[in-house]
C-alpha cells in the first residue's frame, strides 16, 4: 500500500507541530509522498505566512521598502528550523525572493513561496527528495489547470522514488511563470499527486477530526461523519462545508482513490473517509447539513407559461447577459423563480428586470431579498420515506417559514430556502429531528 499525505497550515505552524507531523509520517512507511502547506497561525492573534507574503509583496509592488516584512517571514522559518535543530539555511532562497519581488514577479509567485519554503524545510527534516511543484504541475495559456500534461510528467517524476515532498498550492504556466490554485489549493495538489502516483489512499491532515454533520458554530458538539461519498461531499462543500477544497475531489475520484480526513493533533482518531460509493449505511438518514446566507429570489409570473416554448431560456438569458449565475430555478405552471447571490445581483437588478421584461414579457416580477439556502444531504434519504415531511414538521415546530424547497432527481439532497434571520434556527431544527430525536 502507498499513501499521499497532505498537511495543512495549522499542522505546520511551528517546530512543535512539525515534530507531530514527522512522527505521523514515520509511523507508517506507506506514507511516501508529502504535500505541505505554508505555515499557518500559531495562535489566534498570529498571521498566516501566506498573508504575510501578500502584504510584503503589496509593498514591493507599490515601490515601497519591504525588507522589514521579508525579514519577519524569514524569522518565522528560522524559528522552525532552529526548533527542529536543522543545519539548513534559506539565505539563497530569500535572496531570490527579494530579487523577484523587486522585479514584480506577481502575487501568485509571492503567495506560492510559503509552500515552496516549507517544502524545503519538510524535505530536509524528513530526509526526503524535494520536488518543486512548478516543475511538475502545469496550467495552460488561459490559466486553467492542465490535468493531462501534469499527470504525464508528474507520474514519470515520481516513478521509482521511494519518498518525496511536493509543495502544495502552485504550479507553472507554459512560460514558467508561477500560478497558484485558489486559497486552500494544497488540498488540490495532494489529490493531483495521489492520482499521478497511483496511491491507495490520500490522507488529508488538518486541525479537525474529519467532517461534522453540521457547523459547530451553530450546533454544539455536532456528531462526526464516518463515511461520505464524493457526491455527498460535493453538495455539502458547495453549500459551505469547508474542511476540504471542493476541487480536490476530482483527480482522486477519477481513479477511485479514497480520501481520509485526519487530525494532526489527534492522530488516533479515524477521521472521515471520502469514497466513490459504499454499501455502508449512514448512522442517520442524513449525512450532513450545510447552508449559506445572502440570496435573493426573482419570482416571475406569466399565464400559460408552461405552454410557451423557450420561456425559461429567455428568462435565464437576462441573467447571462449580465454575467450572473443562478443557484436554483424551482417552477410551477405559471411561475418560475430564480435564486441568485444577492451581492452579485443587487447592483444589476434593474438591468436584469429590464432584460426579463424585454425577452420573456412576464405578467409580473417580484424580488425577495435576504434569503438563506440550506442543503440537507444524505445517500440514506433515497430509501427512507417521509424525509421531506420530517423536515417540514421540524421547521414548522421551530416557527420557521419555508420559502422554497427543491429536491434533485438523484434524491441525494433537498434544498430549503428560508429567511436569513431563520437560518440558524432552521439548521438546529433539522439537526434535532434527524440526529438527536431520530424519530
| 202 lies in the same domain as 306 | no
Q: Would 282 be classed as within a structural domain? A: no
3-class DSSP state of 309:
coil
Residue range 396-425: average pLDDT?
Answer: 88
| 235 lies in the same domain as 341 | no
Q: Would 421 be classed as within a structural domain? A: yes
Crossing angle (nearest 10°) for helices 49-61 and 107-126: 140
Q: Which three cell numbers stand for residue 113?
A: 513561496
Query: Could you read off the pLDDT of 199-214 as tens digits, one per residue?
Result: 999 999 988 888 889 9
How many domains is the chain built from? 2
Please report, rounded to a whole number, the percentage of residues in the chain having pLDDT higher than 90: 77
Please report, rounded to a whole number, the percentage of residues in the chain having pLDDT higher than 70: 98
Q: Which residues contact 281 (CB under 8 A, 6 or more apart)?
A: 380
Residue range 67-75: average pLDDT?
Answer: 97
- The CATH number of the domain where 180 resides is what? 3.40.1160.10
The neighbour count for residue 20, using CB atoms within 10 Å, is 17
Query: Could you read off the pLDDT of 171-186 as tens digits, one per residue?
Result: 999 999 999 998 777 8
Q: Which domain holds residue 155?
A: 3-275
- The CATH number of the domain where 327 resides is what? 3.30.2130.10
Average pLDDT, the chain: 92
| 205 lies in the same domain as 109 | yes
pLDDT of residue 409: 63
* Residues 162 and 197 sit within 8 Å (Cβ to Cβ): no
- Bigger pLDDT: 178 vs 379: 178
| 308 lies in the same domain as 252 | no
Q: Which residue has cell 462545508?
A: 241
pLDDT of residue 280: 76
Q: Would 283 be classed as within a structural domain? A: no
| 263 lies in the same domain as 308 | no
Q: Would 318 be classed as within a structural domain? A: yes
In this predicted structure, the answer to whether residue 273 has a pLDDT above a threshold of 80 is yes
Radius of gyration of the chain measured on its C-alpha atoms: 24
pTM of the model: 0.84
Dihedral sign for Cα 241, 247, 250, 252, please. Answer: negative
Listed residues 275, 298, 333: the one ending a domain: 275
| 397 lies in the same domain as 353 | yes
In this predicted structure, the answer to whether residue 406 has a pLDDT above a threshold of 90 is no
In this predicted structure, the answer to whether residue 242 has a pLDDT above a threshold of 70 is no
Q: Would 280 be classed as within a structural domain? A: no
Q: Would 151 be classed as within a structural domain? A: yes
| 10 lies in the same domain as 133 | yes
Listed residues 243, 275, 307: the one ending a domain: 275
Q: Which residues contact 376 (CB under 8 A, 6 or more apart)?
A: 286, 289, 387, 391, 413, 414, 415, 416, 430
| 172 lies in the same domain as 295 | no
Query: Could you read off the pLDDT of 81-128 as tens digits, one per residue?
Result: 999 999 999 999 999 999 999 999 999 999 999 999 999 999 999 999
Give the β-pairing of 272-275 and 259-263: antiparallel
Label residue 412 by pLDDT band (50, 70, 90): confident
pLDDT of residue 438: 62
**CA distances from residue 145 to 62, 122, 438 in whole angstroms, order as listed:** 30, 25, 44
| 179 lies in the same domain as 297 | no
Listed residues 234, 254, 275: the one ending a domain: 275
Amino acid at each position: 500500500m502507498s499513501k499521499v499525505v497532505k498537511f495543512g497550515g495549522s499542522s505546520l505552524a511551528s517546530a512543535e507541530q512539525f515534530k507531530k507531523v514527522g512522527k505521523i509520517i514515520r509511523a507508517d512507511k506507506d506514507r511516501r509522498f508529502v504535500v505541505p502547506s505554508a505555515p499557518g497561525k500559531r495562535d489566534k492573534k498570529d498571521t498566516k505566512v501566506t498573508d504575510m507574503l501578500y502584504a510584503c509583496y503589496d509593498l514591493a509592488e507599490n515601490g515601497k521598502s519591504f525588507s522589514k516584512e521579508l525579514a519577519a517571514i524569514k524569522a518565522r522559518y528560522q524559528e522552525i528550523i532552529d526548533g527542529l535543530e536543522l543545519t539548513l539555511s534559506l539565505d539563497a532562497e530569500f535572496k531570490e525572493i527579494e530579487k523577484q519581488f523587486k522585479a514584480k514577479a506577481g502575487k501568485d509567485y509571492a503567495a506560492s513561496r510559503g509552500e515552496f519554503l516549507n517544502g524545503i524545510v519538510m524535505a530536509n527534516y524528513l530526509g526526503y527528495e524535494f520536488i518543486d511543484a512548478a516543475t511538475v504541475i502545469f496550467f495552460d495559456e488561459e490559466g486553467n489547470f492542465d490535468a493531462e500534461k501534469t499527470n504525464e510528467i508528474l507520474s514519470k517524476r515520481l516513478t521509482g522514488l521511494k519518498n518525496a515532498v511536493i509543495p502544495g498550492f502552485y504550479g507553472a504556466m507554459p512560460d514558467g511563470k508561477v500560478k497558484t490554485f485558489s486559497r486552500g489549493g494544497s488540498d488540490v495538489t495532494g489529490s493531483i499527486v495521489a492520482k499521478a502516483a497511483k496511491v491507495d489512499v490520500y490522507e488529508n491532515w488538518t486541525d479537525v477530526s474529519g467532517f461534522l454533520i453540521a457547523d459547530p458554530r451553530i450546533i454544539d458538539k455536532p456528531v462526526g461523519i464516518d463515511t461520505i461519498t464524493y457526491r455527498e461531499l460535493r453538495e455539502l462543500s458547495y453549500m459551505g462545508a469547508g474542511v476540504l477544497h471542493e476541487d480536490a475531489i476530482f483527480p482522486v475520484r477519477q481513479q477511485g482513490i479514497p480520501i481520509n480526513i485526519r487530525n494532526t493533533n489527534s492522530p488516533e482518531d479515524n477521521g472521515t473517509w471520502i469514497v466513490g460509493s459504499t454499501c455502508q449505511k449512514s448512522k442517520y438518514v442524513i449525512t450532513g447539513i450545510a447552508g449559506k446566507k445572502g440570496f435573493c429570489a426573482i419570482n416571475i409570473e406569466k399565464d400559460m407559461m408552461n405552454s410557451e416554448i423557450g420561456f425559461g431560456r429567455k428568462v435565464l438569458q437576462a441573467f447571462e447577459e449580465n454575467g450572473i449565475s443562478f443557484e436554483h430555478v424551482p417552477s410551477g405552471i405559471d411561475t418560475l423563480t430564480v435564486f441568485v447571490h444577492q451581492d452579485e445581483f443587487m447592483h444589476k437588478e434593474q438591468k436584469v428586470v429590464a432584460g426579463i421584461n424585454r425577452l420573456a414579457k412576464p405578467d409580473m416580477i417580484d424580488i425577495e431579498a435576504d434569503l438563506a439556502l440550506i442543503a440537507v444531504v444524505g445517500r440514506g434519504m433515497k430509501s427512507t420515506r417521509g424525509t421531506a415531511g420530517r423536515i417540514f414538521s421540524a421547521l414548522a415546530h421551530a416557527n420557521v417559514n419555508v420559502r422554497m424547497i427543491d429536491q434533485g432527481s438523484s434524491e441525494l439532497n433537498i434544498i430549503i430556502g428560508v429567511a436569513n434571520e431563520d437560518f440558524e434556527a432552521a439548521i438546529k431544527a433539522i439537526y434535532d429531528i434527524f440526529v438527536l430525536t431520530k424519530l
